[in-house]
């Protein structure tokens, strides 16, 4: 069974043109009926344009996981919820574990 969730493992910086690329790629996935989870465990910097992109993507339904504590605090300050304890479920999607 094909998963309806696309997990994007991001690395490095989310800023400038990369923020725009991220939004474009996620939009394409949303238009194909996919749920999007952004794994930010490899991200070490998020610029203002990256914050804006993440806000838009969360409003569109994307989930965010795997942040460092510092990035999680920055995102929380901007009103972006970071999901913790996300685990794959039997149907190939993701759910929160206890």
pLDDT tens-digit profile of 17-30? 999 999 999 999 99
Residues 63, 38 contacting (CB under 8 angstroms): yes
What is the band of 88 on the pLDDT scale with cuts at 50, 70, 90? very low
pTM of the prediction?
Answer: 0.82
Asked if residue 68 has pLDDT above 50, the reply is: yes
Q: Which helix (H) or strand (E) holds 14?
A: strand 5-14
Number of Cβ within 10 Å of residue 35's Cβ equals 16
Q: What is the pLDDT of residues 27-52, one digit of tens each?
A: 999 999 999 999 999 999 999 999 99
What are the domain boundaries of the chain? 5-96
H-only helix segments in 4-82: 16-31, 48-60, 69-77
The topology under which CATH files domain 5-96 is: Transcription Regulator spoIIAA (3.30.750)
């Amino acid at each position: 069974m094909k998963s309806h969730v696309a997990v994007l493992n991001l690395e490095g910086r989310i800023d400038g043109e990369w923020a725009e690329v991220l939004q474009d790629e996620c939009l394409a996935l949303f238009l194909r009926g996919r749920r999007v989870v952004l794994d930010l465990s490899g991200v070490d910097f998020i610029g203002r344009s990256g914050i804006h992109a993440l806000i838009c993507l969360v409003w569109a339904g994307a989930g965010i996981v795997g942040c460092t504590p510092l990035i999680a605090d920055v995102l929380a300050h901007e009103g972006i919820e970071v999901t913790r304890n996300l685990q794959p479920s039997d149907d190939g999607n993701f759910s929160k574990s206890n």
